[in-house]
Amino acid sequence: MRTFEFASHAEYWIALLPEVGLALAAIVILLADAFRSERGGRGVWVETVAVAGIVASAVSNAWLSGSTAPPDALLAVDGFRAVANVIILAATLLVILFARDYLTREALPAGEFHGLLLLCSVGMMLLVAARDLILLFVGLELMSIAAYILTGYARRDARSSEAGLKYFTVGAFASAFLLYGIALLYGVTGTTRLAVAGEAIAAGVAGGDPLLTAGIGMLLIGFGFKVAAVPFHMWTPDAYDGAPTPVTAYMATGVKAAAFVALLRVLTIDLADAVSIWHRAVWWLAILTMIVPNMIALAQESVKRMLAYSSVAHAGYVLVGVASASALGRSASLFYLAAYTVMTIGSFAVVFHVAGRGDARARIDDYLGLGWRRPWLGVAMLVFLLSLAGFPPTAGFVGKLYLLQAAVEAREMGLAVTLVLTSLVAYYYYLRVVWKMYFDQAPEGAVGPTRATAGFRVATAVCAILILLAGLFPGRALDGMRDALGPDWDVTAVAP
């Protein structure tokens, strides 16, 4: 096990190897693409370089996973960061595997797409590694700027351009709140290092200062926009609906997971002694984010828009783990984010395959008889929807179970009851799609989805199998997470 003291610049480069590998792959793609003429997703070399960068980053991440660093360091080198990086890299890899068919179908440039995707991932990885407010902001902005461009990537589609503009406008507004919160927190504690700020708060240096409350409140508003928590979710449906579907899947999983991991680290670890300031606000955010989007999703006729509101509701479930403010809550949140990433990317992959060029078949009625017309596609979508709803034996059920356990152990019975009731409400709009696929017949002459490539089928099957394996054998998944996170993150108390 290596201990980083960060006495030299070389140690910073070593600690940043996962981010450096991914950034180099992005730079190679963007520079090489400037001298090539391939368009429409046909650049296999682009995918090869992108996957190579992900593999190099994953290997570096595994090599660093047993290392440590002082809590007051600029960078975190711990199991929390390692597990978060695995989720981010997995989301990026899955989107790359699914995106080829979409880029080819819509005739979009592959090089720029993959370059921006990798740079967005670098921003996410910096965000989850930040133990300093300035580095946190830099990572957040690198992630956000790349995500804004990807949202409006289908430049010939007016909806995509509109989505990119809305996302950029609201995102800039959220960044201003976050930056103002950083300034206030610095003014109160005299430092941008999160651990040092936490120590100052614990020592009572800033106790009772209204600027501290205002600073933490500003941070919460900024993060609330990034994780799409109610009432800061207003950009989500339009941005998710208008963005290219692989980008929607990426924003709903990787971007959200990175923001949540940063939020977990800031609130429940570094600013844990200020829990009396932020707990009630997070409690209400969780309640509202579980109730409001689930109710709105009931009335949606577009599957993509329904899944957009569903993703907002899932942010509410993860906020239950944040509000629990415990090691079990953090572990449950990480497990749920991992499961949510796989099932959401898989479901959006099926959506863009069924929708066809220009998202022409995006309504729920377009899924009539899908389970019989395309059996493998129907089974995959069935697994993803059941997991999103929280049916056993899927990873989604296990994730909700552990979040529920975290809430009960923290005596947050209001959160626990709301989680259960809103999950029951969500059954309706998820099972409505299942009903259309298997119990309604498609009208005569209905146009079905084209046959998918072998790579798309394999990636979809892998996602479905992972969801079922994590649901059938959750103990092994949790044991692996416990080993990666270390002894301070014990999750065995609720392992079946």
Q: What is the pLDDT of residues 336-347, one digit of tens each?
A: 999 999 999 988
In this predicted structure, the answer to whether residue 101 has a pLDDT above a threshold of 50 is: yes
**What confidence tier does 59 reach under pLDDT thresholds 50, 70, 90?**
very high
Q: C-alpha angle 179/180/184, rounded to 5°? A: 120
For the chain, how many residues are written?
Answer: 496
Domain boundaries, the chain: 9-494
CA separation for the pair 329, 308 (Å, rounded): 25
In this predicted structure, the answer to whether residue 39 has a pLDDT above a threshold of 80 is: no
Burial status of residue 315 (CB atoms within 10 A of its CB: 0-12, 13-18, 19 or more): buried
Alpha helices in 365-394 (DSSP H): 370-373, 375-389
- Give the CA radius of gyration of the chain: 22
**What confidence tier does 449 reach under pLDDT thresholds 50, 70, 90?**
low
In this predicted structure, the answer to whether residue 486 has a pLDDT above a threshold of 60 is: no
CA separation for the pair 478, 5 (Å, rounded): 30
In this predicted structure, the answer to whether residue 488 has a pLDDT above a threshold of 50 is: no
Q: C-alpha angle 452/113/221, rounded to 5°? A: 110
In this predicted structure, the answer to whether residue 353 has a pLDDT above a threshold of 50 is: yes
**What confidence tier does 283 reach under pLDDT thresholds 50, 70, 90?**
very high
- 43 DSSP assignment: -
Task: Tell me whether the omega of the peptide bond preceding residue 393 falls within 30 degrees of 0, making it cis.
Answer: yes
* Both structure tokens of 451: 């046959």
What pLDDT is recorded for position 354?
Answer: 82
SS3 463: helix
In this predicted structure, the answer to whether residue 300 has a pLDDT above a threshold of 90 is: no
pLDDT, averaged across the chain: 85
- CA distances (Å), origin 241, targets 235, 236, 303, 401: 10, 8, 9, 30
In this predicted structure, the answer to whether residue 450 has a pLDDT above a threshold of 70 is: no
Q: Are 92 and 56 in contact (CB under 8 A)?
A: no
What number is the average pLDDT over the span 37-50?
68
Phi-psi category of 6—alpha, beta or left, where left has phi over 0 and alpha has psi -120 to 50? left
How far the first Cα of the chain sits from its last, in Å, is 31
CA separation for the pair 217, 278 (Å, rounded): 7
In the chain, the largest separation of any two C-alpha atoms, in whole Å, equals 73
Q: Give the amino acid at 38.
A: E
Q: Give the amino acid at 34.
A: A
* Both structure tokens of 352: 């863009």
Closest Cα to residue 448, out of 391, 385, 377, 366?
A: 366
What pLDDT is recorded for position 55?
Answer: 94
